[in-house]
């Protein structure tokens, strides 16, 4: 009787190979087929067996190697042909990784799915940059939002950021101006501290800090490129050097 393969939705973490989970590393080493995102580095792909088939489905803003529906079909097709498939994603598969869509498609086709969690981009960026997303004196609530979603201007973000809260924005580099304008229109103070974390947990990581009103200028002046996260809240200014720099900027 023909055997159906399993689709493994595997989180590769924020980038470095040594931040993979053991389960993720073992699946990569033994996989026959690996369908991977563009953010997966050569050090991680280098774990794959020499005979493994590596399929890139890299996505960039407004330009995808394959539309998501075609990726879903590719995974199901390979599994129905009897092959186990590792779907390798940066961060965690279920946090802005479209893993939920892929799992639903697979299950509808009768294909078994296993999810292997990874260190999310937000967790990895926070730890690598020294920013505690929660802090007893500054934040007891954390929200994650996508900065490139449809209908951004119509969404209600009021209450997501402010005193006692931290807001983490994924995929917000290209829409930084709209994000700042939206948050201030929803009542957030222009002087709210922010941080932009580029290439989190990688050797080339940069942590840029400033104020909400200056977010668009900061992104432009520093030529910030994806992958990058925007963190908004008092937790981004907990150290004395940052507090002094922000106070100086506010006074100008």
pLDDT tens profile 121-133: 999 999 999 999 9
Say how many CA atoms lie within 13 Å of 80 toward its Cβ.
Answer: 12
pTM (predicted TM-score): 0.87
Is the bond preceding 70 in cis, omega lying within 30 degrees of 0? Answer: no
Q: Is the pLDDT of residue 252 over 80?
A: no
Average pLDDT for residues 4-9, to the nearest whole number?
Answer: 97
Q: Is the pLDDT of residue 59 over 80?
A: no
- Rounded to whole angstroms, the Cα distance separating 250 from 246 reads 6
- Where is pLDDT greater, at 159 or 251? 159
Catalytic residue of the set 37, 84, 92, 234: 37
Q: What is the pLDDT of residue 251?
A: 59
- Six token digits for residue 246: 């922000």
70 is catalytic: no
Q: Helix, strand or coil for residue 204?
A: coil
Q: What percent of the chain has pLDDT over 70?
A: 90
Is the bond preceding 227 in cis, omega lying within 30 degrees of 0? Answer: yes
- Rounded to whole angstroms, the Cα distance separating 177 from 152 reads 12
Q: What is the pLDDT of residue 199?
A: 94
73 is catalytic: no
pLDDT tens profile 10-58: 999 999 999 999 999 999 999 999 999 998 999 999 999 999 999 999 8
Catalytic residue of the set 3, 18, 59, 248: 59
The average confidence (pLDDT) of the chain is 91
Q: Is the pLDDT of residue 2 over 90?
A: no
Cα-based distances in Å from 208 to 64, 148, 192, 197, 198: 29, 21, 14, 6, 8
Q: What is the pLDDT of residue 200?
A: 92
- Six token digits for residue 101: 């869509």
pLDDT tens profile 67-104: 999 999 999 999 999 999 999 999 999 999 999 999 99
Average pLDDT for residues 207-211, to the nearest whole number?
Answer: 96
């Amino acid at each position: 009787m023909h055997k159906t393969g399993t689709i493994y939705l595997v989180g590769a973490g924020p980038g470095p190979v040594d931040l993979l989970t053991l389960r993720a590393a073992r699946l990569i080493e033994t996989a026959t087929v690996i369908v991977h995102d563009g953010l997966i580095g050569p050090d991680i792909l280098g774990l794959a067996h020499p005979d493994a088939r590596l399929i890139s489905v890299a996505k960039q803003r407004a330009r995808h190697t394959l539309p998501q529906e075609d990726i879903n079909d590719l995974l199901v097709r390979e599994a129905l042909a009897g092959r186990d498939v590792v779907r390798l994603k940066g961060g965690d598969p279920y946090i802005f990784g479209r893993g939920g869509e892929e799992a639903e498609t697979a299950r509808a086709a009768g294909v078994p799915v296993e999810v292997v969690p990874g260190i999310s981009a937000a967790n990895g960026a926070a730890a690598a940059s020294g920013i505690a997303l929660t802090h007893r004196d500054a934040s007891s609530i954390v929200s994650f939002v996508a900065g490139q979603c449809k209908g951004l201007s119509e969404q209600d973000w009021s209450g997501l950021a402010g005193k006692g809260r931290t807001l983490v924005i994924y995929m917000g580099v290209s829409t930084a101006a709209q994000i700042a304008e939206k948050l201030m229109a929803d009542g957030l103070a222009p002087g709210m501290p922010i941080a932009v974390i580029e290439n989190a947990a990688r050797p080339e990581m940069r942590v840029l800090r400033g104020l909400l009103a200056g977010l668009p200028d900061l992104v432009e002046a520093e030529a910030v490129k994806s992958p990058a996260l925007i963190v908004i809240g008092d937790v981004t200014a907990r150290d004395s050097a940052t507090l002094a720099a922000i106070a100086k900027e506010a006074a100008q």
